[in-house]
Amino acid sequence: MCQQLSLKGKIINEQNDPVPFATVKQMRTHISVTADKNGEFLLPNVLFNDTILISAIGYQTETEIVDLSVSNSITVILKRKISMLPRNILFNIGCYDFAVNICLARF
């Protein structure tokens, strides 16, 4: 049987700032942990070559294969994800406000 270890890690962004409260999920067992406010986490029962998934709001999700033969700690760099809102959301809000004003004027 393979030895299971705990994986220590830190999640940072491209500016080396910690990414607080990111989620780290072990794909084999589906166990998830949350990083602390400093981006640090401890994931138990990790096997050699396990795959982990790291996600955080506003960042691209990363997949890493753990190589416990080198170290039982890892640093993951998350890249920012840029999302744009569709233009019609602003238009719809404007129409809604206009429709409410018309209805109120009738009463």
User: What pLDDT digit, counting tens, does each position of 56-73 carry?
Assistant: 999 999 999 998 888 889
Residue 103: band (very low, low, confident or very high) from pLDDT cuts 50, 70, 90? very low
The CA-to-CA distance between both ends of the chain, in Å, stands at 76
**Least confident residue range of 40-49, 79-88, 93-102:** 93-102
Name the burial class of residue 89, with classes exposed (0-12), middle (13-18) and buried (19+) by CB atoms within 10 angstroms of its CB. Answer: exposed
Average pLDDT, rounded, for the chain: 83
* Average pLDDT estimate for 29-47: 95
For residue 63, give both structure tokens. 């997949």
Residue 86: band (very low, low, confident or very high) from pLDDT cuts 50, 70, 90? low
Q: Can you tell me the distance from the alpha carbon of 87 to that of 57, in angstroms, rounded to the nearest whole number? A: 22
